[in-house]
Amino acid sequence: MIKYFFQGLMLGFAYVAPIGMQNLYVINSAMVSKKIKAYKTAFITSFFDISLALACFFGVGSIMEQYRLLKLTILFIGSIVVIYLGLKIITQKIEVKNNEKYVDKSIAKVITSCFMVTFANPQAIIDGSLLLGGYRLALPYNTKGFFIVGVCIASFTWFTGITIFTVKFKNIFSNKIMNGINIVCGIIIVFYGIKLGFSFISYFIIK
């Protein structure tokens, strides 16, 4: 069972680490905010990210399991899309700026902004549904809980860690570092996309 926990942990890091709206918001907040505000932003963002991951895994993923044709379609399409997503992440160039527009005055605005960069981000919802919902289909039944716990821990650890790193090393924080993270995460996501493809093929071999 521990193997599936670490699979979820690894996929969770690969899923959340590539620089998108959430990470840009958290990083820029850590660059210009006081420590307490930066950590609050990280915790709130991780809460919404975990909520989205659970919705994709137990909601969309559960629906996929109930319909054979939908399951096969998602495994096939998900494999292609996830591989494409990984390759896109590898080639994407990121520029992180010290920009105060990412910082809000009140905790209410922080919550609203964190919610918006997560649940109002169509790309995050689509990617999460295909990656997490699709990967659920490839897991043995009694391992799903261990897997998603790993994903959730990865989310919390990432947003907290990137905030600590940015606060402590904001003067040396560079685009090169973030692009390096993207390359590693893109390779991992491509690997999981290939695994989804093998799950699709294996379904016909087993049947």
pLDDT of residue 102: 47
Show pLDDT as tens, one digit a residue, over the chain (207 residues): 788 899 889 888 888 877 666 777 788 778 777 888 889 899 999 999 999 899 888 876 667 667 777 767 767 877 787 788 778 778 877 665 555 554 455 778 888 878 877 776 656 776 777 778 777 777 887 888 899 999 999 999 999 998 998 888 877 666 777 677 778 777 877 887 787 788 778 767 755
- Measured distance CA(189)–CA(203) in Å, rounded: 21
Claim: this prediction has a pTM higher than 0.75: no
Q: How much is the pLDDT for 62? A: 67
H/E element holding 58? none
Closest CA to 132 of 62, 183, 201: 62
What local confidence, expressed as pLDDT, does residue 80 receive? Answer: 82
What DSSP string describes 72-133? HHHHHHHHHHHHHHHHHHHH--------GGG--SSHHHHHHHHHHHHHT-HHHHHHHIIIII
